[in-house]
């Protein structure tokens, strides 16, 4: 389960996007969105489970994972929302009856919400997993780094690696396997990874969720909100608040999981997603 490679490339306005699909082509499409500072790698177990009944699309956002990283790159929520909308069209999933089922984690939740509410991206249903969606967000550490990104970029590589490992590790409640932690940290090391890590934090602006937060009451698609009950990055109370804002949304608490629900409780998360996705799958 540690091997994960994206074999295809989409050229977006903000850099090459690496992507792939799992499962039989033509089956009900499911698109998975990762958060920050992660990549599609965190979805590997869930993606393989869902691929038994769905064609599952996975991708690394520009500036993340295996996708392109470069100086001056726009990796903001605004840019990612536009890229996701373009990518859905590239996959042929932007028009009826091919609208996908979308599952989005953390920062990816905000990307999926912006694409839907601002750019007209159509989904059959939406599952949000511990999403960045409601103000205020961003830990004191996150804000400190964002305000001084140019200083942190110049950390000696060993100190940078230690900082990223410690930060990523706090997203898990029971703790990450060392090999998994290494794999999550690897894209952020060296050149251009170290600069890219601080760039994405510096561009994480709450105004990009403020722009859509008042529109959640207008979401008219079936919505499931899953939340790790031990999440220390975004408290579970935010899950209850978000569920109350979206008409008809249902909350699915995931016990024993921190912010990285996919790593802490992949079987439990998959079990919550399967009936929701099955209920809202399209005609075959």
Least confident of 5-14, 143-152, 217-226, 255-264: 143-152
The distance of Cα 51 from the centroid of its chain, to the nearest Å, equals: 18
**What percent of the chain is predicted at pLDDT more than 70?**
99
Considering only residues 3 and 210, tell me which one the structure prediction assigns the higher pLDDT.
210
Position 27 pLDDT exceeds 70: yes
- Model pLDDT, residue 1: 42
- Model pLDDT, residue 283: 62
Tokens of 130: 């511990």
Question: Residue 167: left if φ>0, alpha if ψ -120 to 50, beta else—which one?
Answer: alpha
Considering only residues 109 and 3, tell me which one the structure prediction assigns the higher pLDDT.
109
Q: What is the pLDDT of residues 50-70, one digit of tens each?
A: 999 999 999 999 999 999 999
Residue 180 φ then ψ, to 5° = -65, -45
Residues 135-162 have a mean pLDDT of: 92
Q: Locate all alpha helices (DSSP H) within the chain, ordered by sequence.
A: 44-50, 77-90, 107-119, 140-147, 149-152, 157-169, 178-185, 190-202, 207-213, 236-245, 261-264, 266-279
Position 15 pLDDT exceeds 60: yes
């Amino acid at each position: 389960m540690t091997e994960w490679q994206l074999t295809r490339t989409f050229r977006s306005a903000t850099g090459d996007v690496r992507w792939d699909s799992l499962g039989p082509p033509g089956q009900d499409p499911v698109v998975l969105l990762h958060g920050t500072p992660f990549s599609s790698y965190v979805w590997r177990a869930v993606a393989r489970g869902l691929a038994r009944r769905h064609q599952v699309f996975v991708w690394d956002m520009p500036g993340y994972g295996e996708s392109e990283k470069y100086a001056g790159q726009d990796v903001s929520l605004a840019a990612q929302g536009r890229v996701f909308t373009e990518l859905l069209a590239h996959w042929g999933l932007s028009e009826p009856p091919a609208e996908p089922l979308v599952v989005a984690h953390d920062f990816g939740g905000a990307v999926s919400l912006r694409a839907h509410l601002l750019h007209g991206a159509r989904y059959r249903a939406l599952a949000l997993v511990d999403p960045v969606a409601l103000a205020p967000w961003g830990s004191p550490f996150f804000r400190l780094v964002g305000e001084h990104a140019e200083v942190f970029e110049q950390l000696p590589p060993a100190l940078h690696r230690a900082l990223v490992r410690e930060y990523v590790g706090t997203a898990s409640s029971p703790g990450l396997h060392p090999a998994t932690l290494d794999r999550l940290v690897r894209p952020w090391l060296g050149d251009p990874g170290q600069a890219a890590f601080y760039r994405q934090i510096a561009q994480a602006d709450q105004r990009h969720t403020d722009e859509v937060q008042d529109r959640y009451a207008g979401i008219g698609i079936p919505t499931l909100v899953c939340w790790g009950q031990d999440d220390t990055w975004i408290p579970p109370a935010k899950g209850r608040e978000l569920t109350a804002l979206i008409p008809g949304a249902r909350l699915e608490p995931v016990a024993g999981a921190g912010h990285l629900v996919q790593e802490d409780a992949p079987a439990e998360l998959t079990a919550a997603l399967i009936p929701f996705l099955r209920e809202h799958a399209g005609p075959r």
